[in-house]
Amino acid sequence: MVSTAVRFLSSIAAEASSLCAEPPVAVAFAPAEDQAFMRLALDEARRGDYPFGAVIVRDDKVIARGRNLGKVHDDPTAHAEMTAIRRCVADHGSAVLRGSTLYATGEPCPMCMGAIIWCHVGRLVFAAATKINQIMVPCADIAANAPFASITIKAGVLADEAMKLFDN
């Protein structure tokens, strides 16, 4: 399953690199800063009712965290990214999201990617693409079809650790 995911991830990474000024890099070469923030997102994922987590970072500080709460809240839209964005807006307003970086343990689904784009998040870093219960539209395709938004996407940061969360 992991090798399938990695192959899928590679295709996503290739797609993303054609759209982004900053090409996705291999896991081993991800900057320490990206790995550190992704570890916080992984910590959130471990506490979620489905293993997805997200953190939003601005000026090297975490301004919001989120994890999947769909079952807990009986809310199918309570994905990790949506939870983080809603908390960020509630705590800080929406302006801080503009140009922020969102770290997600899974590739954002079309709903979450739409929210990320509407909020003008400037950079998305995700760990692993998963085909589990997913709407199969790559986030890079959604970004490419939103000409009003500018976002760079990096895939594959700590992907193996994110996929391990699904082994339990």
| Alpha-carbon separation of residue 54 from 14, 21, 26, 57, 148 (angstroms) | 23, 23, 20, 10, 24
CB of 59 to Zn ion, least distance (A): 26
Site for Zn ion contains 142 (CB under 5 A)? no
Name the active-site residue from 15, 44, 81, 107: 81
Find the largest Cα–Cα distance for the chain.
40
Told to judge if 161 belongs to the known catalytic residues of this protein, a careful annotator would answer no
Q: Is 137 or 144 the residue whose CB approaches Zn ion more closely?
A: 137
- Within 40-79, which residues bind Zn ion (CB under 5 A)? 79
- The contacts found for 111-115 with CB under 8 angstroms, 24 or more apart, are 111/77, 111/79, 111/82, 111/135, 112/79, 112/80, 112/81, 112/82, 113/139, 113/142, 113/143, 114/142, 115/81, 115/82, 115/85
Closest CA to 128 of 117, 139, 115: 139
For the chain, counts of helices (H) and of strands (E)? 6, 5
Site for Zn ion contains 109 (CB under 5 A)? yes
The DSSP secondary-structure symbol of 7 reads: H
Q: Is 33 or 49 the residue whose CB approaches Zn ion more closely?
A: 49
Number of residues that bind Zn ion (CB under 5 A): 4
Q: Is 45 or 109 the residue whose CB approaches Zn ion more closely?
A: 109
CB of 148 to Zn ion, least distance (A): 21
Please identify, among the stretches 19-27, 106-114, 143-151, 153-161, the one whose residues bind Zn ion according to the rule CB under 5 A: 106-114
Please identify, among the stretches 5-13, 91-99, 105-113, 151-159, the one whose residues bind Zn ion according to the rule CB under 5 A: 105-113
Site for Zn ion contains 112 (CB under 5 A)? yes
Q: Applying CB under 5 A, which residues contact Zn ion?
A: 79, 109, 111-112
Residue numbers annotated as active site: 81
